[in-house]
Amino acid sequence: MRALLVGQAPPVGLGYTYVSEPPYEAVVIGSLSVGKLLHFDIESALEALAEGKSVVLYTPGLPRCPHNRALGASLTARQRELKSWGVVFTDGAQKRLITAQEARAMRAAGTLPAPGAVLTPLAKEILEGSQ
């Protein structure tokens, strides 16, 4: 599956072939600066979310702020907001990410994802039968 890479490539394989221009089925955010996380304005990721495409954020690439509690709390709040938008957070563990396209194929075949699989919000809706 082709994914637009934003930031640095994760050092672990997430199951995507990274590209720098369309077409792509997902967006992978490998790293973010403090400013980019606080003022999330990555146009390609926002468009992908609006189109129902997967947006995956590699969590070890997120900024940390252990010396400033207020800033750290703001970063945590922003992460919660991104999750509520449908951004999938991963640390690269061997959990399989199920996209909407894969969910449609599973539903047509009458199969279920493996235990521990991570579903995009749209994939979850499809497998629950509302899409």
Write the pLDDT tens digit of every residue in 82-116.
999 999 998 877 667 888 888 998 888 888 876 67
- Domain of residue 20: give its range: 2-93
64 and 112 share a domain? no
56 and 118 share a domain? no
33 and 89 share a domain? yes
pLDDT in tens, 31-79: 999 999 999 999 999 999 999 999 999 999 999 888 999 999 999 999 9
10 and 73 share a domain? yes
53 and 21 share a domain? yes
26 and 16 share a domain? yes
12 and 37 share a domain? yes
What CA–CA distance (Å, rounded) separates 42 from 112? 33
What CA–CA distance (Å, rounded) separates 80 from 75? 9
86 and 100 share a domain? no
114 and 130 share a domain? yes
108 and 127 share a domain? yes
And the tokens for 9?
A: 């490539």
Which residue type sits at 42?
A: I
88 and 103 share a domain? no
SS (H, E, C) 35-54: HHHHCCCCHHHHHHHHCCCE
What CA–CA distance (Å, rounded) separates 39 from 60? 19
- Please check the confidence at residue 128 and state whether its pLDDT lies above 90: no
Would you state the pLDDT for residue 46? 97
Tell me how many domains the chain contains. Answer: 2
76 and 106 share a domain? no
And the tokens for 86?
A: 């449908």
